[in-house]
Amino acid sequence: MQLGDSRTGKLADNITAFGRALRRAGVPVDSARIALAGQAAQLVDLSRKDDLGAALEAVLVSREQDRGVFRELFDAFFRDPAVANKLLAQMLPSAEGKAEPSKRRPRVSEALAPQKGFGAQPPRAAEDEVRFDAAMTASDLQRLRHADFGALGGGEYRLVERLAREVALPVPRIAMRRTRPGARGARLHWPGVMRHAAHTGGELLQLRRLQRRKQPLPLLLLVDVSGSMERYARLLLAFLHAATRGGVGRRGRRDVFAFGTRLTDLTPAFRLADTDEMLAAAGAAIDDYAGGTRLGESLAQLRERHARRLVGRRTLVLVISDGLDTGEPAALERELAWLRLHSRRLLWLNPLLRYDRYTPSAQGAAVLHRQAHGMLAVHNIARLEQLAASIAAVMDT
Amino acid sequence: MSATPFSSIDALTQALERAGYFADRRLATAVFLALKLQRPLLLEGEPGVGKTELAKALAGALGRELLRLQCYDGLEHREALYEWNYAAQLLHMRAVELRAPTLGTGVSSLPPEGALAGLGRPGAGGQETAEQAEREVYQDRYLIRRPLLQALQAPAPGAVLLIDELDRADEPFEAFLLEYLGEYQVSIPELGTVRAVATPVTILTSNRTRELHDAVKRRCLYHWLDYPDRERELAIVQARVPGASQALSRQVAEFVGRLRSQPFANAFQRAPGIAESVEWAKALVALDTLVLDPEVVSDTAGILFKQREDVAALTQDLAADLLKPEEA
């Protein structure tokens, strides 16, 4: 079917407008795509709306989750663009035109309006006990390094949180299947061998080899944000965010979930570079902060919806919890066994290890103790500093 | 615009049907556009919905060769694109040396020009001869072509290239594919840039074990493949298992369709795919089943499900429920 110029022009306009509407609705569409959509539209029978829809969808959508938005918008738009625009305006009140508070500064808003549960300032009473200023003496610092996170005053808490961000946690590295030329290795690097041989008339005097590349293990962090953990959760999140940024962020994977009564995916928040912004985003995402713990159910959610976050049994799983679980122990046992089976190491970071004669007697703790490959302490800065070494030790066993 | 033999979406649908693939109209539209616009087509969907089959059927329908690259963790370009035949190269170099023992040593008592016909012109100094020897061994005939390069060099009308389960490969491999998918060309250091003789019809599949990079997606058309509706599934079962009676095929299609549908979707970890329904129908024929009953269903559940929990979950009671005629 050959279209007249005027109609083609109208169609192109319509598609451009539609592409922009899609973009406003949150579907990533660039102008090259819109141009391609114009081409595609001319290849199908325009008298069939479903064909046009399918054609535009194949070009403009590239994620499964965008298909629903696309179809609704397509139906509305190609019936009446004006209706679609109104619809969009209702759906996205601040989509366009408002230049005002688009960029809110997390630190400012955090300071002005502390998040309901998550900001959880330490009790006021403790505030006047000790006052620290920024220039600490060496002995103050030494004391703070060994101070229990659970027994910090307000000022100390802020300082310790700052300190925690400076502790490094090098994630163990393992050999990948990918290789690169090197001096040692099981396989020969033939291109290199040949290049040398060419200079010696085909004599193999020097053998180049292929070495396996190393990569940090993929990390899966599960952080308990229930009531009993609230003093630790924020600190540990700040620590984990800063500590794993360099090692894992670029080359490897790092997936983070918070769990209380249910599972919250914090991975998007952890992609923010700034730790304060991360904490603000995490605070907004977690709506069951300081509630109960149902670890078993949270892990079941993890298995059902996010099993692909575990990478080929290479993932190092860190469960950060005190093990005071209110859920069903049998379910927890089953889910932990599954998790253990699908990861390289399942480590339990337990702040309650601060007590000398701690025994995992709570039901949840007993299960965790049985299923985890190792149990490590995380109740003060000194312990966090030792964490990398402890993890390495457990990895070797 | 391109060498596609199909003038319309209907023509393509029919050609696919003749090749044994029953595509719904949305999918056919996406394939049609991929052919016309000469873009790669990215297919995502649950395992067993027929992503790989589509590429096979398309190759059949187009009468083109199917080249398949199965991706896996750690896949490198030498397995995907090309490799040199090092043994043959070594032999070549030894042969050159045997005929001109001084070639590698740099002593200039060389045979007269032309004596080494076909082996290049020997130079004066040792350095030069070494470089020559290196040039000689990187000839086309020592090149081992892997699927991606084969697809570029396939003579017109070109091949169908299936890059299967791209989500299994790692991110560096995805990045390596970008030039290929965007320009249909690759650079080989020793030979220069190789451009496609005829643009290969490229199908990529992903099971979404991880999200593919946007840059890859931007170069492709996209289609999410769902489980087929009952009529399509029935057509597939009938075409693949001609021995099954009309009634049995219909029962199979309906049963599997209901298994995947809302109320039961959460009861099982993984819904059976099309391949499973076909296998099931074949098994039922082999067991001389004429009509499904709960006992047969639970006895053969191992064909529908590949996980122990799921097999156990399909009890006779549940099967009886599922077999009840639908109230319409």
With beta carbons under 8 A apart, name residues in chain A contacting B30.
54-55, 57-58
Only one residue has tokens 């809110």, namely: A104
Distance CA A275, CA A241 (A): 7
Element (H, E) at A336: helix A329-341
Q: Kindly report the length of chain B.
A: 328
Out of B8, B170, B221, the one facing A58 most closely (by C-beta) is B221
A40 touches chain B (CB under 8 A): yes
Expressed in percent and rounded to 5, the helix, strand and coil fractions of chain B are: 50, 10, 40
Contacts 24+ apart (CB under 8 A), B284-287: B284/B244, B284/B248, B284/B252, B285/B241, B285/B243, B285/B244, B285/B248
To the nearest whole number, what is the mean pLDDT of chain B?
A: 84
Q: How far is B221 from chain A (nearest CA, A)?
A: 5
Nearest alpha carbon to residue B233 among B210, B214, B249 = B249
Judged against a pLDDT cut of 90, whether residue B312 lies above it is answered with no
pLDDT band at B27 (very low <50, low <70, confident <90, very high): very high
B203 and B257 both lie in a single domain: no
Give A348-397 pLDDT, tens digit per residue. Answer: 998 888 777 788 888 888 899 989 888 888 888 888 888 888 888 887 76
SS3 of B293, please?
coil
pLDDT band at B63 (very low <50, low <70, confident <90, very high): very high
Per-residue DSSP letter, B112: P
SS3 of B226, please?
coil
B153 and B73 both lie in a single domain: yes
Strands B66-70 and B160-164: parallel
B208 and B276 both lie in a single domain: no
Of the listed ranges A129-133, A327-331, B66-70, B321-325, the least confidently predicted one is: A129-133
Give the pLDDT confidence score for residue A261 in this predicted structure: 82
* CATH number of the structural domain spanning residue B179: 3.40.50.300
Nearest alpha carbon to residue B137 among B90, B191, B79 = B90
Choice between B325 and A240, residue whose per-residue pLDDT is larger:
A240
Peptide bond into A123 cis (omega under 30): no
Give the pLDDT confidence score for residue A97 in this predicted structure: 39
Nearest alpha carbon to residue B42 among A181, A396, A63 = A63
Give B235-268 pLDDT, tens digit per residue. Answer: 999 988 998 888 999 999 999 988 888 676 667 7
Beta bridge partners of residue A216, listed in sequence order: A173
B74 and B24 both lie in a single domain: yes
B184 and B265 both lie in a single domain: no
Give B206-236 pLDDT, tens digit per residue. Answer: 988 777 888 999 999 999 998 888 889 999 9
Q: Kindly report the length of chain A.
A: 397
With beta carbons under 8 A apart, name residues in chain B contacting A178.
74, 76, 170, 172
B282 and B171 both lie in a single domain: no
Nearest alpha carbon to residue A320 among A349, A344, A299, A292 = A349
Average pLDDT score over residue span B157-174: 90
Q: Residue window 63-92, chain A: list those with CB within 8 Å of chain B.
A: 63-64, 67
The CA-atom distances, in angstroms, between B76 and each of A251, A320, B147, B211 are 17, 37, 13, 20
Element (H, E) at A210: strand A209-216
Phi, psi values for residue B5, rounded to 5°: -85, 0
Out of B36, B133, B222, the one facing A198 most closely (by C-beta) is B133
Out of B30, B170, B209, the one facing A308 most closely (by C-beta) is B209
3-state secondary structure A169-200: CCCCEEEEEEEEEECCCCEECHHHHHHHHHHC
Distance CA B64, CA B200 (A): 10
Give the pLDDT confidence score for residue B112 in this predicted structure: 44
Of B225, B252, B283, which residue sits at a domain end? B225
How distant is the alpha carbon of residue A243 from its chain centre? 14
> CB distance B94–A176 less than 8 Å?
no
> CB distance A67–B8 less than 8 Å?
no
Distance CA A176, CA A213 (A): 5
Distance CA A104, CA A164 (A): 26
B200 and B260 both lie in a single domain: no
Number of domains in chain B: 2
Distance CA A232, CA B81 (A): 51
Phi/psi region, residue B38 (left: phi>0; alpha: psi -120 to 50; beta: rest), is: left
With beta carbons under 8 A apart, name residues in chain B contacting A67.
224
Give the pLDDT confidence score for residue A92 in this predicted structure: 53
pTM of the shown model: 0.71
**Where exactly are the structural domains of chain A?**
10-87, 176-214, 217-396
- Share of residues in chain B with pLDDT > 90 (%): 38
Out of B42, B74, B94, the one facing A177 most closely (by C-beta) is B74
Residue A152: CB atoms within 10 Å: 21
The CA-atom distances, in angstroms, between B174 and each of A120, A236, B161, B204, B215 are 43, 34, 16, 11, 9
Give the count of alpha carbons within 13 A of B172, CB side only.
16
> CB distance A194–B36 less than 8 Å?
no
Give the pLDDT confidence score for residue A60 in this predicted structure: 93
Nearest alpha carbon to residue B79 among B160, B137, B148 = B148
Judged against a pLDDT cut of 60, whether residue A28 lies above it is answered with yes
Give A115-162 pLDDT, tens digit per residue. Answer: 444 444 444 444 444 444 445 566 777 777 777 777 777 777 788 888
B212 and B304 both lie in a single domain: no
Of B170, B196, B225, which residue sits at a domain end? B225
Q: How far is A41 from chain B (nearest CA, A)?
A: 9
Of B225, B259, B285, which residue sits at a domain end? B225
Q: What is the span of the domain harbouring residue B25?
A: 9-78+145-225
> CB distance A43–B76 less than 8 Å?
no
Distance CA B83, CA A337 (A): 43
DSSP A273-284: SSHHHHHHHHHH
B199 and B243 both lie in a single domain: no
Within-domain flag for B40: yes
Give B90-142 pLDDT, tens digit per residue. Answer: 888 888 777 765 544 444 444 444 444 444 444 445 555 667 777 788 888 89
Distance CA B109, CA B106 (A): 9
Give the pLDDT confidence score for residue A111 in this predicted structure: 42
Judged against a pLDDT cut of 70, whether residue A249 lies above it is answered with no
SS3 of A214, please?
strand
Helices and strands (H and E) in chain B: how many: 17, 9
> CB distance A191–B84 less than 8 Å?
yes
How distant is the alpha carbon of residue B232 from its chain centre? 23
- Share of residues in chain A with pLDDT > 70 (%): 81
> CB distance A33–B218 less than 8 Å?
yes
Element (H, E) at B265: helix B262-265
Name, in order, each residue with C-beta under 8 angstroms of A273's C-beta and a sequence gap of 6 or more: A245
Residue B145 in tokens: 């072509």
Choice between B53 and A26, residue whose per-residue pLDDT is larger:
B53
| Cα distance between the two ends of chain B | 47
Phi, psi values for residue B170, rounded to 5°: -90, 175
A280 touches chain B (CB under 8 A): no
Within-domain flag for B107: no
Within-domain flag for B15: yes
Residue B112 burial class via C-beta count within 10 angstroms: exposed 0-12, middle 13-18, buried 19 and up:
exposed
Give the pLDDT confidence score for residue B133 in this predicted structure: 72
Distance CA A171, CA A254 (A): 11
Judged against a pLDDT cut of 70, whether residue B275 lies above it is answered with yes
Give the pLDDT confidence score for residue A173 in this predicted structure: 82
B209 and B246 both lie in a single domain: no
- The answer to whether A214 and A182 are in contact (CB under 8 A) is no
Judged against a pLDDT cut of 90, whether residue B146 lies above it is answered with yes
Q: Does domain A217-396 have CATH number 3.30.2320.80?
A: no
Q: Residue window 311-340, chain A: list those with CB within 8 Å of chain B.
A: 312
ipTM: 0.79
Out of A61, A178, A200, the one facing B222 most closely (by C-beta) is A61
- Share of residues in chain B with pLDDT > 70 (%): 87
Element (H, E) at A233: helix A230-243
Give the pLDDT confidence score for residue A88 in this predicted structure: 65
B18 and B41 both lie in a single domain: yes
Only one residue has tokens 């079962």, namely: B237
Distance CA A260, CA A279 (A): 17
Q: What angle do CA B41, B43, B44 make, to 5 degrees?
A: 150
> E strands within chain B?
41-44, 66-70, 82-84, 143-145, 160-164, 185-188, 192-195, 201-206, 221-224
Give the pLDDT confidence score for residue B177 in this predicted structure: 92
Of the listed ranges A81-90, A213-222, A282-291, the least confidently predicted one is: A81-90
B160 and B264 both lie in a single domain: no
